[in-house]
Structure 1
Amino acid sequence: MPFGVNIDLDRKARVTLLVAILLAGVLLYFSFRGIDMAELEKTLKSARFAPLFMASILSMIALWLRSYRWRVLLNCSNTLPIGMVFWANALGYLGNNVLPARMGELLRVEALKRCYEISRSFLLATALIERVMDAGVLVLFTSAALITIPGLPHWLQRASKTFSILSSIGILGLFLLPHAEKYVLRILSGIPKLSSVVLRFLDGLRSLHSWWRSSQFLLLTLVIWPMDSYTGVLVAQSIDVPLQFQTSMVVLAALGLSSAVPSTPGYVGVFQFVAVNVLSPFGISNAAALAWILIYQAVTYVVQAIFGLIGFGVLSKFQASQVPGATPSPLPLDV
């Protein structure tokens, strides 16, 4: 496997993959059950090029911004070229689309480690920070979007306000935690197993000791997800599906959070099921919802495949000693 990533699965991983395949089959069945396939085919064929082209451009920009955001975490004491981080990140997304168990995360980590000899635990920790921040922002945006959508039950609007407050507190806590590291470790000193997990998490959080770096990371996160939502709107416009920006935010948040469940490469089955069930209450037919998610996935997968394959070619040529600015030892974690 490239960059030293081993795809030989142990017994537990094989069982997880089997569960993911079975789950994907069940979810696909319920997603396509009762669908008028002729209507679905007609909708897919009606997709217009201009909105899809703009959606592809936005998807490229979002991929670059995600790479820049990861670089903000990585550059706690060293400067990595944005190009190398971009190629590694694109390769990781490609890996998630074609490999089981989100192994693309390991692929992007090993690709950078191969070039720069950065600590693997530090790279994995920064990737974890990205995922945690994304989850918090998705909950915040979803709650805010639900508040602005008219006609929703009062209990749902009240719950949305509560989740907005809780997610805001969680995001704030994420940025304050690096500045209270010694107190956290003191509290966890009596729980060795939990302490080891938190220590790895704190490795990544040390990147956020700088308030300037923290602000950049948060700002980029707040820009990336609305951009993805507008990409969803453009995809909907290409097939004349009445998808509002707030609704696109809600369904993309549901897709992002659903990626945490065991799934096949490319989240086949999971994403189709989520799209159909989330968009249905907003008056979008199951056939239209399926057409939307299939085209949205196709747009993002094509972009990620193109840049991921280029990244594979670029990164395969380098060893750590060959890359300009490469460090012979792991990056220091303190600022």
Structure 2
Amino acid sequence: MRSARKRQILNLVGISLSALFLYFCFRSLDAESLKKAFLLPRPWWLLGVLALNFSLMAVRSLTWSALLQALARLPFAELFDILHIGYMANNLLPLKAGEFLRASIVAKRKKLPYAQVLTTVGLERFFPGFTLILLLVVVAGFLEVPFWIKTGAYTTGAVLLGVFGMLVLLWNRRPNLEKWKKRHPFFYRIIEFFYHISEASQPLRSPSAFVNLTFLALLGWALQAGMLFCIEAAYQVQIGFFGTLFVLIAINFAVALPSAPSSLGTFEFAAVLAYTYLGLDKATALGIGFYFHFLQAIPITLIGLFYYFRLGIKLKDLEEAEERKVEALP
């Protein structure tokens, strides 16, 4: 009962924030402005977005595969399918429930500890966050960065630093599970959870693996920047290489906020803030944000639904993911 109530409250907060952000996006735009926002002068550029989005999912699958190697070797095609299912669930369910779903699917199929698989999902997000801050440092050398992006960078950096510090501590002080089970059974489950995190994060101790994962994260950002450039070209907008990176960084810091499924509202609001900061009109900024968002979300959701039914995932798996998501929250 408490879990269900907590889930309802969190969902309500996320949806309320999304509605507020959408209101600010559309406020003061008349019919002529909306027409300008969504009618593209050169729509054929959007085909490039679809191709790059497909490549991006392949890069994410390679990243997850590299992190899972310490636990099990999964075929690339299988991970590619499961990754789409997870992102589909993220787009349809609030608060990133898809991350818990894909961890659950792999854990069940390969008979692996759920906490270890979930750790690899979290680490898959670690490297994009780490490299995003590096990109911001580069962009800051060419553009004035507003305080709200700096705040996002400081917050993200503090979280990532804390995570890495915890991993280093776990690597150097691995708990003796048998000892804890016998002497302190009350704390055993907590210690066991951290033990699984330590086991799943072993690939990060290898410098070559760390460099490889960093490269894949940077490649992912390059593909996303290419997608954004294609949409800007469809609008005949030119803001420069560092301007495009600036917008990409702003959007990705924003989608970390609680929101409705698929980060609806927060995504578009960040795009509007970033583009108008660079001098673009609000209508065009909203249009670019809309196409950038939905040309990623809709194809992934449709492909994810296809694999969901093809692999025979049950509704109860979605419900379990929702429960585990809420249990993981404070």
Q: Shorter-chain TM-score category? A: 0.7 to 0.9
Aligned to 1:15: 9
Q: Is the 8 A contact 1:226 1:249 kept in 2?
A: no
- Measured against aligned partners, the alpha-carbon deviations of 1:75-131 in whole angstroms (never above 9, x if no partner) come to 125321001111111111111111112111112112222322222111111111122
Tell me, yes or no, if structure 1 residue 80 matches structure 2 residue 80.
no
- The letter of the residue matching 1:209 is R
Identify the match of residue 37 of structure 1 among 31, 45, 64: 31
Q: Is the 8 A contact 1:51 1:238 kept in 2?
A: yes
Percent identity of paired positions between Structure 1 and Structure 2: 23
After superposition, the CA RMSD in angstroms is: 3.4
Distance 1:117 1:37, change over 3 A: farther
CA distance in 2 between partners of 1:237 and 1:215 (Å): 33
Aligned to 1:105: 99
Distance 1:305 1:176, change over 3 A: same
Aligned to 1:302: 298
CA distance in 2 between partners of 1:51 and 1:244 (Å): 17
TM-score for the superposition, normalised by structure 2: 0.79
Deviation at 1:309, TM superposition (A): 2.3
Map of 1:45-84 to 2, 5 A cutoff?
45-84=39-78
TM-score for the superposition, normalised by structure 1: 0.78
Distance 1:284 1:112, change over 3 A: same
CA distance in 2 between partners of 1:200 and 1:293 (Å): 39
31-40 or 14-23: bigger deviation: 31-40
Aligned to 2:21: 27
Q: Is the 8 A contact 1:280 1:286 kept in 2?
A: yes
Identify the match of residue 209 of structure 1 among 196, 205, 222: 205
CA distance in 1 between partners of 2:82 and 2:141 (Å): 38
Distance 1:131 1:37, change over 3 A: farther
Distance 1:195 1:78, change over 3 A: closer
Q: Larger % of helix: which? A: 2
Find the residue that maps to 2:112 and give its secondary structure. Answer: coil
Q: Is the 8 A contact 1:88 1:311 kept in 2?
A: yes
Gaps spanning 5+ residues in structure 2: where? 181-186, 315-330
- The letter of the residue matching 1:27 is F
- Measured against aligned partners, the alpha-carbon deviations of 1:203-241 in whole angstroms (never above 9, x if no partner) come to 432232333332221110111112101210111111222
CA distance in 2 between partners of 1:34 and 1:317 (Å): 44
Q: Would you say how many aligned residue pairs link Structure 1 and Structure 2?
A: 298
Deviation at 1:18, TM superposition (A): 0.8
- Measured against aligned partners, the alpha-carbon deviations of 1:54-82 in whole angstroms (never above 9, x if no partner) come to 11101100111001100100012532100
- The letter of the residue matching 1:74 is L
Distance 1:280 1:122, change over 3 A: same
Identify the match of residue 228 of structure 1 among 221, 224, 229: 224
Gaps spanning 5+ residues in structure 1: where? 1-7, 319-335
Map of 1:244-323 to 2, 5 A cutoff?
244-316=240-312
- The letter of the residue matching 1:59 is N
CA distance in 1 between partners of 2:241 and 2:5 (Å): 43
Tell me, yes or no, if structure 1 residue 143 matches structure 2 residue 137.
yes
Q: Is the 8 A contact 1:65 1:220 kept in 2?
A: yes
Deviation at 1:254, TM superposition (A): 2.1
CA distance in 2 between partners of 1:110 and 1:180 (Å): 23
Q: Is the 8 A contact 1:95 1:103 kept in 2?
A: yes
Deviation at 1:200, TM superposition (A): 5.4
CA distance in 1 between partners of 2:7 and 2:299 (Å): 29
CA distance in 2 between partners of 1:203 and 1:34 (Å): 53
Distance 1:19 1:185, change over 3 A: same
CA distance in 2 between partners of 1:122 and 1:66 (Å): 18
Deviation at 1:252, TM superposition (A): 1.9
Q: Is the 8 A contact 1:179 1:209 kept in 2?
A: no
